[in-house]
């Protein structure tokens, strides 16, 4: 990229949670704050990204609620811990939107359906999806961003996801910190 992308009038950043911000529990759920573990470099990344994006929102499928494995209150405790730790390190997450619905429910809020994006725009009317990036680690994250007209960034080195997303994927990074470093080099905030 030879010319920096100019960010003016606030670009929005949409982030998936599990596998992007915190370590994913294989075949399991982050049911309490003690089970929530940041991926190394994430809090530093969010501090960098806070300079470039407003708002920064998390959009996450949390079918553990729909399956009765955890409660909304437990999820809120997990998110409280996440938000506090990010803030302590100089970063910012402006809101968390989640879908409690189970896979195959045809829910409008469960990614890759676009409901969580529309909820975010309702809360933050300045969001322009054409001036937004969706960063996630699964095909459903990338498809969600693509359906809303966002730029898409794959976080993680899952070759299957990269191959499946190839036609709709704009960027790919090993982790959120690498994405943040890319933004720092290639994006320019216009005063």
Which residues are the active-site residues?
16, 18
CA proximity to 86, closest of 38, 35, 141: 38
């Amino acid at each position: 990229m030879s010319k920096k992308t100019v960010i003016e009038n606030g670009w929005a950043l949409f982030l998936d949670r599990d596998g992007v911000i915190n370590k994913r529990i294989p075949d399991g759920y982050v049911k309490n704050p003690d089970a929530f573990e940041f991926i190394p470099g994430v809090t530093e990344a969010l501090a960098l990204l806070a300079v470039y994006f407003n708002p920064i929102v998390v959009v996450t499928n949390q079918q553990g609620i729909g399956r009765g494995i955890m409660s909304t209150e437990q999820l809120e405790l997990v998110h409280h811990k996440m938000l506090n730790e990010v803030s302590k390190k100089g970063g910012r997450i402006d809101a968390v939107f989640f879908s409690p619905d189970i896979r195959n429910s045809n829910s409008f809020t469960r990614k890759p359906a676009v409901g969580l994006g529309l909820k975010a725009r309702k809360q933050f009317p300045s969001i322009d999806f054409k001036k937004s990036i969706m960063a996630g680690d699964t095909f459903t994250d990338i498809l969600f961003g693509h359906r809303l007209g966002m730029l898409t960034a794959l976080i993680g080195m899952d070759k299957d996801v990269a191959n499946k997303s190839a036609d709709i994927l704009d960027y790919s990074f090993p982790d959120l910190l690498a994405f943040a470093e890319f933004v720092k080099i290639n994006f320019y905030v216009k005063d």
